[in-house]
Amino acid sequence: MKLALVLPGGVDRSGERGVIPAFLALIERLARQHEVHVFALHQEAQAAQWELAGAHIHNIGERWTRLRAIAAITAEHRRAPFDLIQAIFSGSCSLVAVVAAKCLRLPSLVHIAGGELVALHEIGYGGRRKWKGRLREALVLRSTEVVTAASMPIIDSLRALELDPVRVPLGVDLNKWPPLTPRRRSAERARLVHVASLNRVKDQPTLLRAMALLAKEGVDFQLNIVGVDTLQGELQTLARELGLQRQVRFLGFKTQRELRPIMEAADLLVMSSLHEAGPLVLLEAAVAGVPTVGTAVGHIAEWSPLAALAVPVGDWEELAETIRRVLDDEELRLQLATRAQRKALLEDADCTARMFESLYQRLHGAHVALFAGRSL
């Protein structure tokens, strides 16, 4: 089949920086069997094309992005027809994919991968904050043939909108991120890791306040925070105000190769997000043998309490207490790690590709049968 994937980005030509590993893993696997064209809306400011992971990347760039993306898909379809169009992330991506599919009489799929279904007014985040966004999502999600999402909380949100979604986790590429058996702690000082962009949705102030409580209680720990800083040093200032200079290190962005030894050295992944469709890093941590404690969003809520431990969003006291409980109970920590790894290995990148391909085949078959019937 010839496939069109519409993404916001995550497919930088370097293959290392400005990429989303789960996207690359899916694209690479699809490209082994299909002709894959990726239409990236905002990877670079200027329109450009390049090859990556066996696929052809069409970067749309700034200004009139959605209209030019639809035009680019249409032009490529005229060169050789697509069989279907998929958006990963809703919002602008799904609007482009569904409109293009309707114009070209093709089936479409939309994968919910972000905050399309939430309205976090206090931080200006979410696709349902304004009536235009709510209307757009309602129209798009009811116009596409299949809606998918990675975790059960998102599936439940879609069902609440009277949709019939399919759960498709975005799994880890085990060839590039191999499994490592969960290990006992090797040092008295607990080694914690947090991997996420520093932004309002990830709610790192809650995490830092939890760390301050742990420090006050005499817990000996080191927290490595990995991620691009979008808040211009705001969190570093908060860490200093909380007296966490010795315990917390801000490491900035790391490539997957740079992140791996940091993850392997960790005893626990800690997350504090207000919202997650995943997070993908929980799966990466699980494959590397590291369990997770975090707020009750996405996979963290889905896996709790057997394969992760979840606390209420924004509750730094409960987050601190749960982290301390896991650090004080090595058998519990290892049980969480073992169960989490088992889940992540069952739903790896190969599984993701197979699940999407099964949906593609179903939609393509129904589409061919429909048009065959109309021609009789």
Residue 170: name the closest of 286, 24, 31, 300 by CA: 24
Instruction: Tell me the whole-structure pTM to 2 decimals.
Output: 0.94
User: Among 63-72, 118-127, 235-244, whose mean pLDDT is lowest?
Assistant: 118-127
Dmax (CA) of the chain = 77
d(CA 204, CA 251): 14
pLDDT of residue 326: 98
pLDDT band of 89, cuts 50, 70, 90? confident
Consecutive H or E run containing 306? none
Which pLDDT value is given to residue 374?
A: 62
Q: What is the percent of the chain with per-residue pLDDT over 70, rounded to a whole number? A: 98
Tokens of 15: 């293959």
| For range 26-54, the mean pLDDT | 96
At residue 371, does pLDDT exceed 70? Answer: no
Q: Summarize the confidence of residues 18-34 as an average pLDDT.
A: 95
**185-198 confidence digits (pLDDT tens):** 988 899 999 999 99
pLDDT surpassing 60 at residue 375: no
Nearest to 86 by CA among 67, 69, 63, 111: 111
Question: Average pLDDT, stretch 142-151?
Answer: 96
Q: Could you give the C-alpha distances from 343 to 17, 113, 114, 246, 340, in angstroms and in order?
A: 28, 19, 22, 35, 5
Cα angle: 113, vertex 117, 118; to 5 degrees:
110
Closest by alpha carbon to 253, among 87, 18, 27, 6?
Answer: 18
What number of residues does the chain have? 376
Q: What is the average pLDDT across 5-24?
A: 94
Spatial contact of 73 and 333, defined as CB atoms under 8 Å apart: no
Q: Convert the pLDDT of each residue in 312-340 to its tens digit.
A: 999 999 999 999 999 999 999 999 999 99
**Cis status, amide bond into 279, omega within 30 of 0:** yes
| CA 232/CA 227 separation, integer angstroms | 13
What is the chain's Cα-based Rg?
21
pLDDT on residue 218: 95
Chain centroid to CA 199:
15
Distance CA 303, CA 231 (A): 30
Q: What is the mean pLDDT of residues 131-153?
A: 91
Q: Which domains does the chain have, with CATH numbers?
A: 2-171+348-375 (3.40.50.2000), 190-346 (3.40.50.2000)
Does residue 349 register a pLDDT over 70? yes
Across the range 194-209, mean pLDDT stands at 97
pLDDT(137) > 90: no
Q: Is the pLDDT of residue 30 over 90?
A: yes
Q: What confidence score (pLDDT) does residue 376 get?
A: 47
> 227-278: per-residue pLDDT in tens?
999 999 999 999 999 999 999 999 999 999 999 999 999 999 999 999 999 9
Say whether 136 sits in a helix, a strand or coil.
helix
Which whole-number Å values give the CA distances from 128 to 91, 133, 206, in the listed order?
Answer: 10, 5, 24
pLDDT at 99: 96
Contact between 112 and 158 (Cβ < 8 Å): yes
Mean pLDDT value across the chain: 95
Cβ contact 293:311 at 8 Å: yes
